[in-house]
Structure 1
Amino acid sequence: MCAPGEHHLGKLAGWSDTLAWGMAGVLAAYAGIAAAVASKRPKGAPGKKSAVLGAWLSLATAMSAQPVSHMFVTGHWTAEPRPPVWLVVTVSCVPPLVLGHLLHLAATPVRVTPVAAPAAPVTAAEEPTDPVAVPPAPAWALAVPASAHLLPIVPPAPKVIEYDDERCYAIRPLYEAGLRPGTKAMRTALLAAGFADCSDGIIRGKLRDEIERNEPHLALLPPAPVSIGA
């Protein structure tokens, strides 16, 4: 709402109708840039007080331009036959003063807190050459003397399974292939070991049951493929 008053004063100072709108643009930019600089710079930094002062000056200038323009519009003051000298000089000096202050804010450096440099690593030549006494190792009550000869760790022997029916010993090696043998393969193993031919019921119901009862993991093996025509 202050822009029309600022435009009116620009025309009274001698600018054309189009160029006089620059007065409103200059004051709006002044207020925005000064407020941004004042809020971004930390307390005590260079240019902090100047930016705060510029923000207040931009508001004061905008508020002053509005009532002065209204005084001429409402007839309390007159610009006839020509505008007052003080008005022409004051309004004409506003843009360069604003630009100068903004350049001053832009050129003012921001104080940077120095960061401590990391300590240089100690090289081998700079390391102390004095011998450092190493404390002796604590004497634990149950510590083994260094001169003691320790026996090697021997894993425990696997559990030996004793089958009730000795025919199981002829069938058990068939499981070592990683497959659960079929009835025909187990009968062939029995015949090769010298045992008489056994029925399918004895092989499946007694011998296989005894082996897989003593070793349950063998019952989980996949069945061996059946060869057709063998």
Structure 2
Amino acid sequence: MPVRARSDAQLGLTVSAAVLTTALTAVSFWLSFEALHDLATDHRLKGERAWAWPATIDTFIAIGELLILRASLLRKVDWYAIALTAAGSLGSIVLNIASVGGSTDPLDYVVAAVPPVAALLAFGVLMRQVHEYLLSRQQALTAPPVPVSTPVTPFVEHKEPEAAEEPQEADEAPVEEPVVTEEPEPVREPEKPEEPLTQRDRIDLVVRGLYESLGNRRPATRHMVTALADAGLPSSEGTARESRKRVEAAEPHLKDLPDAIAA
């Protein structure tokens, strides 16, 4: 597949995933709000106050996830944000289950617990996509500029015509220059031919090249299997994963790169 077509496919999949994740997040929060609204209505809250009360629970999830996203961009761990997200999620799950009442059907409790759990997971996935986008933008802005080389104009030295040699006088005898004998060049040993690369080295070279071709991202198993198959090398998923482990063991900084989306 050409590089342009592959890039367009990856962009389309990324946009589709973002749209679906946003829709799932909105639906999950709406269902959770609906259940918490009914619970508030059953306990003396009416009208606008009944609709505002669920925000005191589910909004903690959004606030915590945003703070976790901020901390990850700063390469830090914000335990306060994690605790805030956990408290909001657990509170929302417990209260959604409590809204069922004294039902004897276990599926009633499962149905009540799904929206808050889905809201937490969907919002986390959405923040993951935002994190990858912002990280790629940071790398593009902080990349050093490519130096532009100026054309070099060759310098031509203009030589003035040499003056005609003066004739030697009769009494001046020509000076004989000593004969210089060239020393024989030392005998050099023939260079040993380089050893051919093994199949394992060729596999590692193909996998290592994917980090640059994917824009400084960790290749997924699908990327590695496709590249190895194109190179005529063993292309099983196990071979690809073992090669990625060897490459990242030799260059540990590659583990910190964001994962590429498999097309």
Normalized against structure 1, the TM-score is what? 0.29
Larger-Rg structure = 1
The structure richer in helix per residue is 2
Normalized against structure 2, the TM-score is what? 0.26
